[in-house]
Every structure is written in structure tokens, then in C-alpha cells.
């Protein structure tokens, strides 16, 4: 019987990221428990605030006010989830309450009354499939970009591998969290689990689900002794009991990173949650530098799916589509559907002035492009082009070819072939069995049951010349994930790629490429060999934040007091101390006014991918 409780506020304000002690009303003394949602008065105005009980106390010298109410008698914040959220908040230098808002759905009493929760049952007659040799507790697996046939249906090898490992844990009474970046990926996981006979004790956390569905799933997961949760990045917050496995596929996908606060990445969250005997599994048909660093320091063991090598050839830079690429398309169209992968959508990725030759830009600062053959507009504000802002000329010259213009060009080259475009959200229907070309951008090509007969990757130099330190890594990701869509006897060509990289890809030497990239990052002391952090604040606060970081051996890379921004660098060992020192400054910082909106006094973006 507890007379007092400590409460964590469900608020994004870092100033409220502390424990508040309150007196428990007499009518709730016998039922108050850790994890319950409560309403409490806050501040001089006694404004009602939602929070969660983090501790029950027999005595407290700080509690002077009583709780207003206990919203929910169930324990919606289990201790294991509370501990994990606290660790994430400390690492990212944000308020615990902000993460509570992401992890715990708002209470819906109507759903509770009208729709009783289902009861999960253990599946029967499971099928066993061995994809790789036995894995260790922390495993990084390079998959083969091949399909595995189960009872006549093909499934990506990574999906079968993750499903198999999850079923093993579930059979021992353990829960699993399986994370993939896109809806199509989690559909593959669901299909693989179903093919192995696992359907009943499965919770799908799909992107864009209704609030009522999310609320029901949350309580169903919380109340289940063992369950397999499949979803996108938010699934890492699932309140599972007896967690035994965290698995994540395709760690370089940008969908796994929060673009806004708290700026987390599912890869780092998976590493944090997979503790105390919880197994961790990363899969991808490529090897990211971040995962290679974990392998190099011994935190993870290295594995690969051994399968029949993919038939990949390449052509040197020069002609966009040479004779070998032309022959590939012509030959394999008779066997099935051929996929042509491009880096950019639209008619032309950039437009140049026909008078002065400069790249056309808009008054807003954005560049012009052609989404279709009849339109020239700004990429940012979508204002239509009228004349060059420098020489007043109205004539234009097209830049690099996009997917729309490629459809037109290939239509002239192959006049009797049906050509479809899958780019920019376009969905294809009625695909044929053969004699069809699909022009797609990364992630847009539909998965065919029989697989694509061949894949042609054009404009490889565009991928490799993007303004990013990990341009090669991102290019390899796009290419290998596209090869994953090929039929077993399919063939691929990379058009316009240097011999060094082309040879490595065609021979499957992806791990040496990641090792080389990691060595270069270490030599330059760049991520992921080190960590970085972006700061935004007014002059005085920014100066205090930089001094706090330097006191913990953080290195100031750039500081611009006129714009109120700075970039600091520190080692992984210094991360906790740097975050703690920045948090102390953020708590005391006065809010900034930008335009008509209030902003945080100190904005901290840990591991800012856009900074470099």
C-alpha cells in the first residue's frame, strides 16, 4: 500500500523531464501500480497534465499535492519499456515525455468498451527451413538477394531467415520484434511467416494504421506472454514481455530514421533494446559501414547466406545503353519482364538555360526540372519556368534523362514491347508474363511472383556522384535490393560503372567494399568511426553548449554564431557524457522565437545525417 508516487510527464518539454512526487488519493491507494497512466496538477496554475507512474513510495518529502485521477488501471508503461525509453532520451538529449508520446497511444475508452481484445494462440504445424548455419546472439548477415522456395512460393531469403529465427525464439516462449523499412518489406515478412505456418500469434504494426488499431495492438502486445511483432520503425517501442529477439532488415534505408525530433535511427534503437540476453539480427543484401564497424569491434559476428551467385556484369562509363545492354533487354524480353532501374524520375532531372548555359534556378533558391515533357518547374515551390533570371532567355536545354523520358526513348527502340513506368508513387497493374519493360526508380518496382527475367541499371554515375559521403553505400543498397527482385535464372547489367567497383559487385565482394569505406572513415575521423551532433541556439546559449561539449572532450568542427548553428564531433565513449552536458544547457535555455513560432532554446540533433 503506497501513499506516494513518482510521475513522469508526457510532455516534449525537456524542462519537465524529471520526476514529480504526488500524494495518492485514498480511493486509489490499494490499486496504484507502476506503469499506470495518471492525471496530475502542474505548476502554479495547477494545469492538468498526463503522466505515468514510474515509482511507488512509502514516504516523500516533496509530495504536497494529490493526483487528480488514475486514467487507466492497466500498466501501460512496463518497467522494461520505461528503462529503454529513458536510455533513448538520454542518448538523444530529448525529454522522456516526448518518447512516451511516441511509444504509448492515447487512451480510447470507446474502443475498450465496444471491441474486446483478441486472445493470441500458439500456431501449430510449423515448417522448418534452414537458410544459414546457426547464428550467434548478435549476428550481421549478408543475404544473397535470392529467393527461397517454400511449398511452391518464393520468398526473399532475408525474410525467411528472420522468420525462422523468430519462430525459434517464440517456440521457447520468447517475444520478437521484427523491423523493416517499408510496407512492402513487412508484407514479405508476414508472407514468409505464414508460409512457415506462423499466423496466429502475430501482430502487424503497419504504417498509416488507424488510431484504434494501434491502441488495440498496443494492449494486445502488452498482455501477451509471447508474441511476434512485425512493423516499421515504431515497432521498436512495442511493449512486449519476455523479449528474445530484435531483428532489422535494410539498415541503410532512410525510412528507418526519424526526420524530426527525437532524430533516432532504428539501427541504434535495436542495439539499445537488444540487451540482457536478447538476440540481435541485422540482415541486408549489402554491408553498411555502420554494421561493419560493429563487426570490426567484435560486437557482432559476421555471417552470409550462401547461394548460387547472381549473374551480374557491367559496362564502362561512356554510352548510356551500349550493345551489351541492348542485347540483354532484347534477349530476356522473350523470357519474361525486364526491369530497367534509374536513379531519377521525371522527364529531365535538371534544366539548363539555352542562352547562358547555367543551371536554371528559381527565386526561392530551388532548381528547375521537368516532371514531364510539357512542364518545367521548381523542385521546391513548383513555380513554372518563364525565363532565365540571369540572361532573360526563354530557351532551355534538357539535362540528364529521367524515368519518363527513358520510357519514350525505349519505346522507340523497342516499338512492339509494352512499357510501363513505376516511379514517383505510380502503381502498376495488369503486368504481363513476358515482352514487357518496367522502368522504375529505387523502391518503386513491384515484386513479381515469378521475378524479373533481367535487370538493367542505367546512369550508375549519377548514383555515385550524389552529394553524400556514403554515396557508394547508398548506390550499392539500391542496386542489390533491385537484384533481389530477379528470377532465379535472371541476369543483371550495371551500365556505366568503373571496373574496380564493377568487378567487386559482380564477384559479390561487398564486405571488402564496406571494410575499405570504414578504413577511410577512420583515417578522416568521420562517421561512423566517430559521432557528430548539430546544435541550434541563440548566441549565448550556443556558446554555453559548445563549452559544455568541450568540457567532455567534444571537438567543435564548425560554429556560426550569426546563424546560431554549430557542429561538434566526439567518440562513442564520450557520447553519454557529451549528451548529459548538453542536456544541462538545454534545461536552462530560454525558448527562441522564429517568425511567429516558439522553438527550443537549444536544439540538439544527434548523429545528424544531413550535416555532412
DSSP annotation string for 346-393: SSBS-EEETTT-PBPB-TTSPBEEEEETTEEEETTT-PBP-S-TTT--
In the predicted model, is pLDDT for residue 114 greater than 70?
Answer: no
Q: Alpha-carbon distance 426 to 602, whole Å?
A: 41
The predicted structure's pLDDT at residue 6: 95
As a whole number, the mean pLDDT across the chain is 88
* Residue 276, Cβ density class (10 Å: 0-12 exposed, 13-18 middle, ≥19 buried): exposed
The predicted structure's pLDDT at residue 134: 78
Minimum mean pLDDT range among 68-82, 207-221, 410-424? 410-424
The predicted structure's pLDDT at residue 572: 95
Q: Alpha-carbon distance 552 to 545, whole Å?
A: 11
Query: 231 near 208, Cβ under 8 Å?
Result: no
Query: 555 near 570, Cβ under 8 Å?
Result: yes
In the predicted model, is pLDDT for residue 607 greater than 70?
Answer: yes
The predicted structure's pLDDT at residue 317: 86
Minimum mean pLDDT range among 164-168, 329-333, 403-407, 493-497? 403-407
**pLDDT confidence band for 294 (50 / 70 / 90):** very high
In the predicted model, is pLDDT for residue 528 greater than 60?
Answer: yes
In the predicted model, is pLDDT for residue 116 greater than 70?
Answer: no
In the predicted model, is pLDDT for residue 125 greater than 70?
Answer: no
**pLDDT confidence band for 582 (50 / 70 / 90):** very high
In the predicted model, is pLDDT for residue 203 greater than 80?
Answer: yes
State mean pLDDT over 180-192. 94
516 contacts: CB under 8 Å, gap ≥ 6: none
* Dihedral sign of CA atoms 374, 378, 381, 383 in order: negative
Distances (CA, A) of 224 to 221, 392, 415, 443: 5, 68, 58, 34
pLDDT tens for 460-513 read 888 888 878 888 999 999 999 999 999 989 999 999 898 899 999 999 999 999
Minimum mean pLDDT range among 47-61, 141-155, 266-280, 424-438? 424-438
DSSP classification of residue 111 = H
**pLDDT confidence band for 361 (50 / 70 / 90):** confident
150 contacts: CB under 8 Å, gap ≥ 6: 127, 129, 160, 192, 195, 196
Per cent of the chain over pLDDT 70 is: 94
Which one is predicted more confidently, 345 or 446?
Answer: 446
Which one is predicted more confidently, 55 or 376?
Answer: 55
With CA atoms as reference, report the closest residue to 455 among 473, 480, 474, 472.
480
Query: 564 near 585, Cβ under 8 Å?
Result: no
In the predicted model, is pLDDT for residue 112 greater than 70?
Answer: no
The predicted structure's pLDDT at residue 256: 96
In the predicted model, is pLDDT for residue 612 greater than 80?
Answer: no
Instruction: Catalogue all structural domains in the chain, each as residue range(s) with its CATH number.
Output: 4-77 (3.40.1440), 138-304 (3.40.50.300), 311-521 (3.40.50.300), 531-606 (3.30.70)
Q: Alpha-carbon distance 399 to 293, whole Å?
A: 38
Other Cβ atoms within 10 Å of 125 Cβ, number: 7
- Tell me the sheet residues that pair with 292: none
Exposure string over 512-540, b if 16+ CB within 10 A, otherwise e: ebbbebbeebeeeebbbbbbbbbbbbbee
Q: How many residues does the chain have?
A: 612
The predicted structure's pLDDT at residue 165: 93
State mean pLDDT over 221-246. 94
- Tell me the sheet residues that pair with 532: 569
Q: Alpha-carbon distance 76 to 496, whole Å?
A: 55
With CA atoms as reference, report the closest residue to 22 among 49, 50, 62, 58.
62
* Residue 86, Cβ density class (10 Å: 0-12 exposed, 13-18 middle, ≥19 buried): middle
DSSP classification of residue 448 = P
Minimum mean pLDDT range among 72-76, 309-313, 494-498? 72-76
State mean pLDDT over 437-460. 89
**pLDDT confidence band for 320 (50 / 70 / 90):** confident
Query: 442 near 462, Cβ under 8 Å?
Result: no
The predicted structure's pLDDT at residue 462: 84
The predicted structure's pLDDT at residue 414: 82
Give the start-end residues of each E strand in 195-278: 202-205, 228-231, 243-249
Cis preceding-peptide flag for 295 (omega within 30 of 0): no
**pLDDT confidence band for 106 (50 / 70 / 90):** confident
In the predicted model, is pLDDT for residue 365 greater than 90?
Answer: no
pTM of the model as a whole = 0.90
Q: Alpha-carbon distance 132 to 144, whole Å?
A: 11
In the predicted model, is pLDDT for residue 142 greater than 50?
Answer: yes
C-alpha neighbours within 13 Å on the C-beta side of residue 491: 13
Distances (CA, A) of 97 to 14, 16, 32, 487, 592: 8, 8, 20, 48, 20
Q: Alpha-carbon distance 121 to 228, whole Å?
A: 12
In the predicted model, is pLDDT for residue 141 greater than 90?
Answer: yes
Distances (CA, A) of 277 to 63, 165, 179, 243, 280: 38, 15, 19, 9, 9
| Helix locations, 495-611, DSSP H | 499-506, 510-524, 539-551, 575-588
With CA atoms as reference, report the closest residue to 181 among 256, 280, 237, 236.
256
φ, ψ for residue 199 (rounded to 5)? -140, -40
Strand 138-142 versus strand 301-304 pairing type = parallel
Q: Alpha-carbon distance 264 to 309, whole Å?
A: 35
Give the best-scoring range by mean pLDDT among 195-204, 346-355, 414-423, 566-575: 566-575
Q: Alpha-carbon distance 159 to 182, whole Å?
A: 13
Q: Alpha-carbon distance 387 to 470, whole Å?
A: 36
The predicted structure's pLDDT at residue 192: 93
The predicted structure's pLDDT at residue 117: 45
Helix (H) or strand (E) holding 215: helix 211-222
Minimum mean pLDDT range among 73-77, 80-84, 203-207, 277-281? 73-77
Other Cβ atoms within 10 Å of 389 Cβ, number: 12
In the predicted model, is pLDDT for residue 88 greater than 60?
Answer: yes
With CA atoms as reference, report the closest residue to 231 among 249, 244, 258, 216.
249
Q: Alpha-carbon distance 221 to 236, whole Å?
A: 12
Amino acid at each position: 500500500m503506497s501513499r506516494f508516487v513518482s510521475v513522469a510527464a508526457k510532455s516534449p518539454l525537456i524542462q519537465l523531464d524529471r520526476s514529480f512526487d504526488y500524494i495518492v488519493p485514498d480511493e486509489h491507494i490499494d490499486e496504484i501500480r507502476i506503469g499506470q497512466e495518471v492525471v496530475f496538477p502542474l505548476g502554479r496554475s495547477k494545469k492538468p497534465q498526463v503522466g505515468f507512474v514510474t515509482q511507488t513510495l512509502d514516504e516523500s518529502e516533496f509530495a504536497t499535492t494529490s493526483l487528480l485521477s488514475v486514467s487507466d488501471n492497466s500498466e501501460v508503461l512496463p518497467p522494461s519499456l520505461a528503462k529503454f525509453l529513458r536510455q533513448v532520451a538520454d542518448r538523444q538529449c530529448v525529454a522522456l515525455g516526448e518518447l512516451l508520446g511516441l511509444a504509448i497511444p492515447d487512451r480510447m475508452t470507446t474502443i475498450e468498451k465496444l471491441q474486446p481484445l483478441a486472445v493470441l494462440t500458439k500456431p501449430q504445424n510449423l515448417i522448418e527451413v534452414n537458410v544459414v548455419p546457426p547464428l550467434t546472439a548478435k549476428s550481421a548477415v549478408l543475404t544473397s538477394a535470392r529467393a527461397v522456395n517454400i511449398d511452391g512460393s518464393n520468398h526473399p531469403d532475408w525474410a525467411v531467415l528472420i522468420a525462422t529465427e523468430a519462430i525459434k525464439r517464440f517456440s521457447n516462449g520468447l517475444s520478437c520484434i521484427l523491423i523493416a523499412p517499408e510496407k512492402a518489406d513487412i508484407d514479405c515478412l508476414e508472407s514468409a511467416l505464414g508460409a512457415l505456418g506462423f499466423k496466429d500469434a502475430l501482430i502487424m504494426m503497419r504504417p498509416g494504421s488507424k488510431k484504434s488499431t494501434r491502441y488495440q495492438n498496443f494492449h494486445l502486445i502488452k498482455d501477451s506472454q509471447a508474441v511476434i511483432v512485425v512493423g516499421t520503425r515504431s515497432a521498436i517501442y512495442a511493449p512486449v514481455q519476455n523479449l528474445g529477439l530484435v531483428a532489422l532488415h535494410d539498415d541503410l534505408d532512410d525510412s528507418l530514421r526519424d526526420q524530426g525530433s527525437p532524430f533516432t535511427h532504428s539501427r541504434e534503437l535495436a542495439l539499445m533494446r537488444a540487451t540482457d540476453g536478447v538476440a540481435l539480427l541485422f540482415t541486408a543484401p549489402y554491408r553498411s559501414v555502420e554494421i561493419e564497424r560493429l563487426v570490426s569491434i567484435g560486437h557482432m559476428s559476421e555471417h552470409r547466406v550462401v547461394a548460387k551467385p547472381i549473374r551480374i556484369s557491367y559496362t564502362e562509363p561512356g554510352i548510356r545503353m551500349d550493345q551489351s545492354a541492348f542485347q540483354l533487354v532484347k534477349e530476356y524480353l522473350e523470357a519474361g519482364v525486364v526491369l530497367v532501374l534509374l536513379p531519377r524520375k521525371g522527364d529531365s532531372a535538371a534544366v539548363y538555360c539555352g542562352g547562358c548555359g547555367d543551371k536554371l534556378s528559381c527565386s526561392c533558391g530551388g532548381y528547375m526540372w521537368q516532371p514531364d515533357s510539357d512542364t518545367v518547374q521548381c523542385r521546391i515551390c513548383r513555380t513554372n519556368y518563364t525565363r532565365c533570371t540571369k540572361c532573360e532567355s526563354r530557351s532551355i536545354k534538357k539535362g540528364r534523362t529521367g524515368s519518363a523520358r527513358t520510357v519514350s526513348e525505349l519505346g522507340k527502340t523497342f516499338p512492339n514491347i509494352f512499357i510501363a513506368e513505376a516511379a514517383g508513387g505510380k502503381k502498376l497493374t495488369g503486368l504481363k508474363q513476358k515482352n514487357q519493360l518496367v522502368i522504375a526508380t529505387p523502391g518503386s518496382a513491384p515484386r513479381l511472383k515469378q521475378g524479373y527475367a533481367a535487370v538493367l541499371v542505367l546512369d550508375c554515375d549519377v548514383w555515385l556522384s550524389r552529394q553524400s559521403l556514403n554515396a557508394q553505400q547508398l548506390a550499392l543498397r539500391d542496386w542489390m535490393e533491385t537484384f533481389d527482385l530477379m528470377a532465379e535464372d535472371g541476369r543483371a547489367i550495371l551500365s556505366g560503372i568503373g571496373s574496380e567497383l564493377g568487378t567487386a559487385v559482380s564477384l559479390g565482394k561487398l564486405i571488402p567494399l564496406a571494410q575499405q569505406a570504414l578504413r577511410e572513415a577512420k583515417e578522416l575521423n568521420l562517421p561512423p568511426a566517430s559521432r557528430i551532433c548539430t546544435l541550434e541556439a541563440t548566441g549565448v546559449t550556443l556558446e554555453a553548449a559548445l563549452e559544455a561539449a568541450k568540457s567532455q572532450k567534444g571537438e567543435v568542427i564548425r560554429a556560426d554564431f550569426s546563424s546560431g548553428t554549430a557542429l561538434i564531433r566526439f567518440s562513442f565513449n564520450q557520447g553519454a557524457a557529451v549528451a548529459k552536458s548538453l542536456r544541462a544547457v538545454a534545461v536552462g535555455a530560454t525558448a527562441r522565437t522564429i517568425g511567429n513560432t516558439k522553438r527550443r532554446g537549444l536544439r540538439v540533433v544527434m548523429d545528424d545525417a544531413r550535416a555532412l
